[in-house]
Amino acid sequence: MKIKHIILVSFLTFGLLSFTTLTDSTKYKCMIQMTNYTGEAAYVVISLINPDGEYEKTLYVQGDDSEWYHDITDWWKFYGKKRSNIDAITGATIAGGARTISVIDIEDSKINAGYSIRFETAVEDQEYYTKDVEFPLTSETVKSKKAGSGFIRYVRMMPN
């Protein structure tokens, strides 16, 4: 009886382990080019959005002072509840006119599957854009250039 249990548990564990190792993912470079706006440097959050339009995962956060995260209003409603550790995917804010390359990791199963990538921006004293840039993740768009509608001039995405 006991042994059976152990076997069952180890099957389960192995199953889970192999499952996680089997989820292939690809690293992408995202070059974010800001407009040459005047004011403080921008917070930019990159998120994976599921087919229902909801936040699934935080991919990168440009801006390392968590005191201001609540200003990225919609993302905060998702992230603020759990506040998972994002140290490994956190960089500096991006100034007007500047560009940054964030390397992000996306599971291959999310490409061509109705998922989108969202770039959300907020600047002190100024506007907040939930969808500064947002586009569906397809094998075409992951190597393309997309124009922004707020503080972002464009985003260039390419496999790393």
Partner 1 sequence: MKIKSIISALILVLSLQSYAQDNVFLNRDFWSNKPSVEDVDIQIKAGHDITQANSNNFDAVVYAILQEAPNETIQYIQSYNGNDVNKLTHDGRTYIFWAAYKGNTEIMQYLLKKGAKTDITDDKGNTILNFAAGSGQTNTKVYDMCLAHGANLKSDLTPSGANALLLAAPFDTDFKLINYFTSKGLDIQSVDANGNGVFNYVAKTGNVEMLNQLLKKGVTGNNQAFIFAAYGTRSHTNNLDFYTYLEGIGLNSNTSSKEGKTPLHILAARSKDLDLIRYFIKKGVDVNQADADGNTAFLNAAYRNNLEVITILNKQVKDINTVNKKGESALALALKNNTYVVVDFLIKNKAEVSVIDANGNNIIAYAMDSFNANNQKEFQQKIALIKANGIDISKPQANGNTLFHLAVLQNNLDLVKWVNTYPVNVNAKNSEGNTALHLAAMRAKNSDILKYLVSIGAKTDAVTEFDETAFDLASENEILKSSKSNLDFLK
For partner 1, give the closer residue by CB, 100 or 112.
100
Residue 156 as a binder of partner 1 (CB under 8 A): the answer is yes
Dihedral over alpha carbons 91, 92, 95, 97 (to 10 degrees): -30
Among 21, 38, 84, 85, binds partner 1 (CB under 8 A): 38
Strand partners, 90: 61
Give the C-alpha separation, 132 to 61, whole Å: 14
For partner 1, give the closer residue by CB, 21 or 38.
38
Residue 139 as a binder of partner 1 (CB under 8 A): the answer is no
Q: How far is the CB of 17 from partner 1 (least distance, A)?
A: 32
Give the C-alpha separation, 63 to 69, whole Å: 8
Give the C-alpha separation, 25 to 67, whole Å: 31
Residue 35 as a binder of partner 1 (CB under 8 A): the answer is yes
Residue count, binding to partner 1 (CB under 8 A): 26
Which part of the chain contacts partner 1 (CB under 8 A), choosing from 13-21, 36-44, 54-62, 130-138?
Answer: 36-44
Residue 83 as a binder of partner 1 (CB under 8 A): the answer is no
According to DSSP, the β-strands at 55-62 and 90-91 are parallel
User: Cα separations (Å) of 96 from 42, 100, 122?
Assistant: 8, 11, 12
Residue 109 as a binder of partner 1 (CB under 8 A): the answer is no
Which part of the chain contacts partner 1 (CB under 8 A), choosing from 1-9, 13-21, 96-104, 136-144?
Answer: 96-104
